[in-house]
Amino acid sequence: MRERKIENILLIILLILGIPVFLAVAIYVSAFQISSFQLDLTILGEQEVTVEYGDHYADAGAEAYFSGTYLLKNGKEVSVNTLSNVDESKPGTYHIRYDASFLIWSACGERIVHIVDTQKPEITLRSDPDQITLPGEPYAEEGFTARDNFDGDITDRVIRTQVGSVVIYWVSDSSGNTAEVTREIIYHDPLPPELVLLGESSVTITEGDAYQDPGVVATDNCDGDISGRVVVTGTVDTNAAGTYTIQYYVEDSYGNCASAVRTVTVNAKPQASVGSSVQQTVVPDGKVIYLTFDDGPGPYTDQLLDVLAQYDVKATFFVVDSGYSDAMQRIVREGHSIGIHSTTHEYKSIYSSEDAFFEDLEQMQSIIQNTTGVTTYLMRFPGGSSNTVSSFNPGVMTRLTAEVEARGYRYFDWNVSSGDAGETTSTDRVFENVVNGVGKRNVSIVLQHDIKSYSVAAVEKIIQWGLDNGYSFLPLDMTSPTAHHGVNN
């Protein structure tokens, strides 16, 4: 019985001691074994996120729940602390840390955020519509800009290289994104070549003369001398009177062209046919003296030519077949005019008929041509057109003056006589006669004979007087005044 008592006491003691232990064990078992408690943290969305620079990053956050196996089976939400160093304004790698704690439980997580710039910079080329790059010339940059979404204006970082006719622009942004654009240089030559006629743009020749075109010179700002590319069209028929044009055309390598035209007038050879037109008279300006010398050349003609050369005065010689062919050549060579006077100067024969007259005239024309190479249609009737020595053949001068013009000749008389044909043999008198006559008019055609020494001797004084008094000396040509006397037979 006693033993039982002790057992009971021990049981009571055990019970008293055991209750808190039991409770502790029960609590322990229920919290960690039967219904184990935990704190869970879940990162919402991806663990590692890449965001393009410029886009907004919105963090999806994280959530945490405290829960147990039997108790708080559905969990209790626990607030999450977020610690982020994400800077959207700067590319880089950032971390977001999430923390949660409840009583003695805690949980954490981390998300990695990459802010990246993968966008290329942009290069913009400017082009100037007025810019012209001449072939062979360096290219003048028209301008460009480079912009980057992160770096902003990076024009100064552009690297520019030219390869042939291509300009390459290259740039890199601070993230290593590169951009490249190219520009094809447009070479353009807006300038036409220059075509320059050699010789006159208007040429007049006489039927039967040879015509040799002097050509042109063509130069181009890019191609240089392109005379060899000139296309010449048009021909001159030197055997048919008319007006011909010769066209020159040239094109440079860029299609610019230039053209020029030369006019070649082939004048009809004065024909022995009725109706040839007489050339219009062109009255010279100012006070003019035409010195004319008949019946030479002769022994004093060289002396006369010396004086004329000394004063650079040009005169006119109406020549006969005197045999002084050297002097005749010199007349032409030194720029004087040469005209036909007569082969024989025999009034009786030359005025005996029109045929006889023209036979004599044409013979002298041939002598002049053979001696000097000049075919002259300037002429003076022996005795002048007003002569009456021909009156043995009534009306012959009336017929001849018409016929010579019809055949294309231009005949000249004179309006100042020196008197050297009989009136005087005095040089002073010749001078006075000429000066008196010249002084009365603006245009004088002076008659002298270069076969008379005393007359030739007056020429220097006449020239000096003329120059001192404002006259100019001219040679006769096919348009000069004729000083016709009027026909008396």
Q: Residue 435: what residue type?
A: V
Q: Is residue 148 involved in binding Zn ion (CB under 5 A)?
A: no
Residues 177, 180: Cα–Cα separation, whole Å: 10
Question: Least distance in Å: CB of 327 to Zn ion?
Answer: 17
x/- string (CB under 5 A) for Zn ion, residues 285-314?
---------xx-------------------
Question: Least distance in Å: CB of 418 to Zn ion?
Answer: 13
Give the residue with the Cβ less far from Zn ion, 205 or 421.
Answer: 421
Question: Least distance in Å: CB of 451 to Zn ion?
Answer: 9
Q: Is residue 173 involved in binding Zn ion (CB under 5 A)?
A: no
Site residues (CB under 5 A) for Zn ion, limited to 325-384: 382
Residues 325, 372: Cα–Cα separation, whole Å: 8
Q: Is residue 189 involved in binding Zn ion (CB under 5 A)?
A: no
Give the residue with the Cβ less far from Zn ion, 173 or 294.
Answer: 294
Give the residue with the Cβ less far from Zn ion, 255 or 422.
Answer: 422
Under 8 Å between Cβ of 260 and 216 = yes
Q: Is residue 251 involved in binding Zn ion (CB under 5 A)?
A: no
Q: What is the DSSP string of 115-129?
A: EE--PPPEEEE---T
x/- string (CB under 5 A) for Zn ion, residues 376-415?
------x---------------------------------
The answer to whether the peptide bond before residue 297 is cis (omega within 30 degrees of 0) is: yes
Question: Least distance in Å: CB of 377 to Zn ion?
Answer: 18
Give the residue with the Cβ less far from Zn ion, 252 or 295.
Answer: 295
What are 162-169's contacts with CB under 8 Å, separation 24+?
167/139, 167/141, 169/123, 169/125, 169/144
Give the residue with the Cβ less far from Zn ion, 254 or 300.
Answer: 300
Partner residues linked to 49 by β-bridges: 113
Question: Least distance in Å: CB of 358 to Zn ion?
Answer: 18
CA 446 to the chain's CA centroid: 54
Residues 67, 37: Cα–Cα separation, whole Å: 5
Give the residue with the Cβ less far from Zn ion, 120 or 485.
Answer: 485
Residue nearest to Zn ion (CB): 294
Partner residues linked to 169 by β-bridges: 160, 181
Residues 70, 72: Cα–Cα separation, whole Å: 7
Residues 312, 296: Cα–Cα separation, whole Å: 20
Tokens of 437: 């006559």
Size of interface with Zn ion, in residues (CB under 5 A): 3
What SS3 class is residue 330? helix
Question: Least distance in Å: CB of 295 to Zn ion?
Answer: 5
Q: In sequence order, what are the residues at sequence separation of 6 or more whose Cβ sits closer than 8 angstroms to the Cβ of residue 137?
A: none
Give the residue with the Cβ less far from Zn ion, 252 or 413.
Answer: 413
Give the residue with the Cβ less far from Zn ion, 205 or 356.
Answer: 356
Place of tokens 């607030």: 79
Question: Least distance in Å: CB of 447 to Zn ion?
Answer: 9
Question: Least distance in Å: CB of 437 to Zn ion?
Answer: 18
For residue 323, what are the CA distances in angstroms to 333, 367, 371? 17, 10, 10
Give the residue with the Cβ less far from Zn ion, 148 or 295.
Answer: 295
Question: Least distance in Å: CB of 345 to Zn ion?
Answer: 6
Q: What is the strand order of the sheet 231-233 is part of? A: 202-206, 257-267, 242-251, 231-233
Query: What residues line the site for Zn ion (CB under 5 A)?
Result: 294-295, 382
